[in-house]
Amino acid sequence: MVLCIVALFVFAILGIFSVRYRKLAVEAFDCAVRKVVFRPCESKLDERIRAKVVAKVLVKSPKAASFLNKNFEVFSLALFVLTLSSTGYIIYGVYNLLTIGTCDPITGTCIFSPLGANVTDTKPVCAHTGFTEFYGEGCPHCEKMEPIVAEVEVETGVVFEKLEIYYNETNLQEMLTHANDIEQDCGILGTPTFFSTKTNKSICGEVSKARLKAFILQNG
């Protein structure tokens, strides 16, 4: 029975591309249905598959063919389990591809992201690491911090979610929701501000690489 089900699965997929396999898929379906109710497969598809596979192995190795023939049902069951689990992994993979895309977890760049960012958008859509950098377009202190932030991200594996606040109202509002916490640690609301969404702690302005790394370690 399992052989018929595996055959149905394989021929159904191949039948998408070739008419020849559609007929076999129909045969396999009939065979599988009959086997489920303990009736013999009329077309003898299962016997034909077995004979063809064993014959091909027999040409190469009689011992292997003998072993295969003797344990064909076991091999069929193993193949059935492998087919099911492969199908599961493929479905899971396709789901991930559609929802997450092909994002680089370190740089945050996404080559393909069907439901999110496009190729030119460097905003990371990978899972949020819990750290945000509020910056401003044209902010000189922010520009000075760029290479330091890049180095720290590579060395720690932590990527800052970068939100521009001078021109992006939404991002500004986001920063304002944490205004009390930021002012508590930094005294003012300014850029660049490095904020931990886990501890609500922040450091601001131009800071050293070591200080930024320490901030990540203490608040991650």
Partner 1 sequence: MIEHLVENMNINKIREDFPIITNSKVVYFDNACMSFKPKQVINAINEYYTNYGSCAGRSYHKLGKITEEKFEEARNKIAKFIGSKKEEIVFTKNTTEAINLVANVIDFSDKKKVVTSNMEHHSAILPFQQLSGKGKINLDFVVADDKGEMTGDMWAEKIDKNTKLVVAHHTTNSIGTAAPLNEITKIAHEVGALILVDGAQGAPHSEINFKKSNFDFFAFSGHKMLGPTGTGCLAAKLDLLNKLPPFLVGGETIEKVTLDSATFTKPPHKFEAGLQHYSGFIGLGTAVDYLSKIGMKEVKKHEIELARYLLEGLKEIEGVIIYGLSDPKRKNCGIVTFNIKNIPPHQVSIMLDEMEKIATRSGVFCAEPAMNHLGAPNGAVRASFYLYNTKDEVDVFINSIKKISVISYK
How many residues touch partner 1 (CB under 8 A)?
17
Q: Binding of partner 1 at residue 56 (CB under 8 A)?
A: yes
Evaluate whether 21 touches 14 at the Cβ level (below 8 Å). yes
| Residue number, 25 or 68, with CB nearest to partner 1 | 68
| Residue number, 24 or 103, with CB nearest to partner 1 | 24
| Residue number, 40 or 157, with CB nearest to partner 1 | 40
Q: Binding of partner 1 at residue 148 (CB under 8 A)?
A: no
Token couple for 156: 């720690």
> Rounded to the nearest whole angstrom, what is the least distance from the CB of residue 27 to partner 1 in the complex?
15
Residue with tokens 């009736």, as numbered in its chain: 39
Q: Binding of partner 1 at residue 45 (CB under 8 A)?
A: no
Find the DSSP H helices in 100-157: 140-156
Token couple for 159: 């990527």
Q: Binding of partner 1 at residue 44 (CB under 8 A)?
A: yes
Q: Which of 37, 52, 120, 170 binds partner 1 (CB under 8 A)?
A: 52
Q: Binding of partner 1 at residue 62 (CB under 8 A)?
A: yes
What amino acid occupies position 11?
F
C-alpha 80/C-alpha 170 separation (Å) is: 52
Peptide bond into 114 cis (omega under 30): no
Q: Binding of partner 1 at residue 211 (CB under 8 A)?
A: no
| Residue number, 61 or 118, with CB nearest to partner 1 | 61
> Rounded to the nearest whole angstrom, what is the least distance from the CB of residue 154 to partner 1 in the complex?
58
| Residue number, 44 or 144, with CB nearest to partner 1 | 44
Q: Binding of partner 1 at residue 51 (CB under 8 A)?
A: yes
Q: Are strands 193-196 and 161-164 parallel, antiparallel or unpaired?
A: unpaired
Q: Binding of partner 1 at residue 59 (CB under 8 A)?
A: yes
Q: Binding of partner 1 at residue 69 (CB under 8 A)?
A: yes
Evaluate whether 213 touches 156 at the Cβ level (below 8 Å). yes
3-state secondary structure of 98: helix
Q: Binding of partner 1 at residue 128 (CB under 8 A)?
A: no
| Residue number, 53 or 139, with CB nearest to partner 1 | 53
**Residue 168 Cα distances to 21, 125, 134, 171, 175, angstroms:** 56, 18, 11, 5, 11
